């Protein structure tokens, strides 16, 4: 399995993914949440950074730019974890998205819930739906 052990290797891998994803624009914010009983919650949000997990997640759900939300299957999240996991070889970075995504896989296996991926192009734009609104609320708190 490929491993990216240095900061430079991680950055190069991210750049390769970004350049090969047509129309890709980095989001202002993104996250994976869980919907239960009509409420979307986020245990980890990303705003203004962490673009490697963003491009990995975007490729899995087919997102390129703009603000959008996507139902996310457990299999899709497992794919995202597998595609991002070679970066763990680099100890110069923390890997909070990988840790969180794995926790979400365990949590939804035990407790159920619908996973959702949310990308926000500009935090000043109006939310597109309740998942987007929940992410913006989580980012601002």
Q: What is the pTM of this model?
A: 0.96
Q: What is the mean pLDDT of residues 55-65?
A: 98
Q: From the centroid of its chain, how far is CA 38?
A: 21
What's the pLDDT tens digit per position in 44-56?
A: 999 998 999 999 9
Nearest Cα neighbor of 110 from 74, 57, 61 is 74
What DSSP character marks residue 71?
A: E
**pLDDT tier at 102, thresholds 50, 70, 90:** very high
- Assign a CATH topology to domain 7-140: Alpha-Beta Plaits (3.30.70)
Kindly state the helix (H) or strand (E) to which residue 57 belongs, with its residue range.
helix 51-61
Output the average pLDDT for the chain: 96
**pLDDT tier at 2, thresholds 50, 70, 90:** confident
Q: Could you state, in order of their start, the residue ranges of all structural domains in the chain? A: 7-140
Strand partners, 34: 41, 115
Kindly state the helix (H) or strand (E) to which residue 19 belongs, with its residue range.
helix 7-19
């Amino acid at each position: 399995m490929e491993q990216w052990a240095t900061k430079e290797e991680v950055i190069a891998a991210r750049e390769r993914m970004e350049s090969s994803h047509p129309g890709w624009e980095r989001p202002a914010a993104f996250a994976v949440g869980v919907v239960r009983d009509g409420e979307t919650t986020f245990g980890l949000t990303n705003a203004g950074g962490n673009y490697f997990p963003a491009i990995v997640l975007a490729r899995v759900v087919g997102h390129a730019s703009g603000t959008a939300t996507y139902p996310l299957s457990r299999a899709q999240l497992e794919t995202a974890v597998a595609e991002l996991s070679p970066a763990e070889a680099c100890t110069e970075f923390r890997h909070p998205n990988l840790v969180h995504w794995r926790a979400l896989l365990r949590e939804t296996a035990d407790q159920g819930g619908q996973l959702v991926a949310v990308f926000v192009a500009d935090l000043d734009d109006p939310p597109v739906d309740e998942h987007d609104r929940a992410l913006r609320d989580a980012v601002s708190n």
